[in-house]
Homo-oligomer: A and B are copies of this chain.
Amino acid sequence: MLTPLLRAGRWARAGLVLVLLACSGGVQAEDGYALWMRYVPLADAAASSYRARLGTVAIAEQTPAQQAASAELARGLGGLLGRAPPMAASVTATTGLVVGTPRSSPAVARLRQALSGLGDEGYLIRNVQVDGRNVVMVAAQQDIGALYGVFHLLRLLQTGASLDGLALREVPQVRLRVLNHWDNLDRYVERGYAGSSLWDWQTLPEWRDPRYTDYARANASLGINGTVLNNVNASAISLTPAYLEKAAALADLFRPYGIRVYLSARFSAPIELGGLPTADPLDPGVQAWWRDKVAQIHALIPDFGGFLVKANSEGQPGPQDYGRSHADGANLLADALAPYDGVVMWRAFVYAHDVPDDRAKQAYSEFAGLDGQFRPNVIVQVKNGPIDFQPREPFHPLFGAMPRTPLMLELQITKEYLGFATHLVYLGSLFEEVLQTDTRGRGDGPNVARVVSSVADGHALSGMAGVANIGTDRNWSGSHFDQANWYAFGRMAWNPQQRARAIATDWAAMTFSPDPAVVEPIVGMMMGSREAAVNYMSPLGLHHLMARGHHYGPGPWVDGGPRADWTSVYYHRADHAGIGFDRTTRGSNAVSQYAPALAARYGDPARVPESLLLWFHHLPWEHRMRSGRSLWEALVGHYSQGVRQVQAMQDSWASLHDRIDPQRHQQVSAFLRIQHEEAQWWRDASVAYFQSLNGRPLPAGEAPPPHPLAYYQALQFPFAPGDGR
């Protein structure tokens, strides 16, 4: 909570700050509040080497963004090096650090040629000679690029990198790097597992919690440049003047950190707030209402980012209520936003009223035909897979199907289907898996990363959205390891070609310790964790097997209710003879939504990756796997393997007992115990259920579930967190 002190950017106070940070790093900060920006003192040798390299620091403090960069440097260098290097108008020692833009720094201005092409957000970090002095230069065209560069430089120090031979040039590959907060305005976060909403709407705009600024710092450290404040299941009240003033207060705090505020817009707001008889996108009164509303927002939030919309999905209003298309709806808002450089992020996660033959096909069916019909300031936001953030899904077929429309990848950082906050599951691997998938299936790209990057298809817009896992919990994300998922989202949104392991390595070094004896086992745990969860929850391409409503724990028996596609049996289709969803040409033919080479591979049980086998195929229990085992044997084996993988994580973590501070070690240990218990529960309940269908004996060596199936089916959890109200 040093933010208020530091916000003024006064290096004169750095001495005091150093003492405090040293202390807080030693004990106080280890409640997780500091995230990956702990800035605890480096080992003496490293610190003095960096100090020698950064003799004087020259950074301007004229603009709010410059002040933010300067304050972060004071905090970071002060903490890491024991004391911050002296500050000067220019580098006066034989070595130094220069941070700036051509406008703020003569030394940077001389580099103008090298800055070409960096755009507003890019930066470079390199060693240069300035007046015979050996300088580390963090240079950018705009202040925000320099701030990003400062965070990058601090990361280099936190991870023990050399400051010699630097030739870093970073330009974000994605234009909109956005968090989606599923915030219901009453501080309840739908699918939130980290306490309540960060936004204290009741005390805004008067009280500006310093935590809002720390949130902005954390996002800026990753390059996240936008935040949607409220739930996609939106209340129109977020668009009333009182709530716009609250949003504007947050926008004021976020602006120095390069973060624009967006709002989820309820499509029927013209009726609910404006008293209009319709929300028809072709109605001139409706169009005027939105134009006026955007003008009103813009007067309060000059850099307002735009709207995110969930329409005609899960009961939300939308253009189809008036016989119009999603394009009509999106373009209505886009026209209102266009004068202000605002964008519409229109979600492709849609449901028909009628239960389809295969829900996996629905978004494609509704959107692929609209390609080319959207305004230039519309981007269609597509979830990573065609169902809904399952532990494993194939990539969404729309990513190969709308070349004339910019597509935004929506990832879920909060772990609705991956064990909530108490399961250690590193999502970097999941994100990488989808981003690296070749959309044509022939090995010659483009992969999904390229589709959602600005470089693809020449679109002006590009974007990645992450459904935030952030709340009021002291450690922000509900667990220490879930911070890594926020981190990985941000790093991959900046550059979707980055790899999960490298990101995990950075994160572990900054969050726990750069000591390889700490980093390596932690990265090992992280890199195996997602596959562990797939194994104990829904292996071999199974999906949507969780309990109803709250999604806590296994529910492969879920049946009945309002919609077949909200049940488990709809998805696994298991019976005495076999299991799996036939999406081949003989079944729902969802494979046809993919490029031909992929359709052929996915549609062939001999060629489809076994990790997606039952996503695309319905097979007999005795189906022979590549290992030679039967499908049933393999399935049970995966479930048990998942439990063992959690045990292995527990062992790794236990071995770090003396290298991790007690509070974080204890919490992670407790959560791993919960995860282990729940992994066993998933395994036992799932095995008991599927065995009740196929009547087969368990494979040799497999322990029978300790309870009868009825026991697992009877468990109820009315207070499981995150469920919609």
Q: How far does the Cβ of A549 sit from chain B's closest Cβ, in whole Å? A: 13
Complex contacts, A196 vs chain B, CB 8 Å: 187, 195-196, 472
Count A-side interface residues using an 8 Å CB cutoff. Answer: 48
Complex contacts, A187 vs chain B, CB 8 Å: 195-196, 719, 721
Q: Please tell me if A237 contacts chain B, counting CB pairs below 8 Å.
A: yes
Partner of A1 from the list B206, B663, B718 (CB cut-off 8 Å) is: B663
Number of chain copies forming the complex: 2
Complex contacts, A28 vs chain B, CB 8 Å: 1-2, 20, 23-24, 28
Which of A2, A28, A185 has most B Cβ within 10 Å? A28
Q: Is the CB of B23 within 8 A of A210?
A: no
Give the CA-CA distance A20 to B673 in the complex, in Å.
31
Q: Is the CB of A663 within 8 A of B4?
A: yes
Give the CA-CA distance A201 to B28 in the complex, in Å.
25
What residue of chain B has the Cβ atom nearest to residue A31's Cβ?
A: B1
What residue of chain B has the Cβ atom nearest to residue A7's Cβ?
A: B662
Q: A20-B23, A670-B208, A721-B186 are in contact. Are A202 and B663 (CB under 8 A)?
A: no
Complex contacts, A202 vs chain B, CB 8 Å: 420, 422, 719-721
Q: How far does the Cβ of A16 sit from chain B's closest Cβ, in whole Å? A: 8
Q: How far does the Cβ of A98 sit from chain B's closest Cβ, in whole Å? A: 30
| Residues of chain A from 35 to 59 with CB closer than 8 A to chain B in the complex | none
Q: How far does the Cβ of A83 sit from chain B's closest Cβ, in whole Å? A: 15
Q: Mark A167-200, 1 if CB is under 8 A from B, else 0.
A: 0000000000000000011110000000110000
Give the CA-CA distance A721 to B27 in the complex, in Å.
34
Q: How far does the Cβ of A180 sit from chain B's closest Cβ, in whole Å? A: 19
Give the CA-CA distance A420 to B422 in the complex, in Å.
33
Q: Is the CB of A207 within 8 A of B667?
A: yes
Q: How far does the Cβ of A6 sit from chain B's closest Cβ, in whole Å? A: 10
Partner of A203 from the list B5, B23, B26, B670 (CB cut-off 8 Å) is: B670
Q: Mark A638-667, 1 if CB is under 8 A from B, else 0.
A: 000000000000000000000000110011
Other than the given A22-B23, A184-B719, A207-B670, 17 more pairs (CB < 8 A) read: A1-B31, A1-B663, A2-B27, A4-B663, A5-B27, A5-B662, A20-B27, A187-B721, A201-B719, A202-B719, A202-B721, A203-B422, A203-B674, A206-B673, A207-B671, A472-B472, A472-B473
Contacts from A to B (Cβ < 8 Å): 1-2, 4-5, 16, 19-20, 22-24, 26-28, 30-31, 184-187, 195-196, 201-203, 206-208, 210, 235, 237, 420, 422, 472-474, 662-663, 666-667, 670-671, 673-674, 718-721, 725
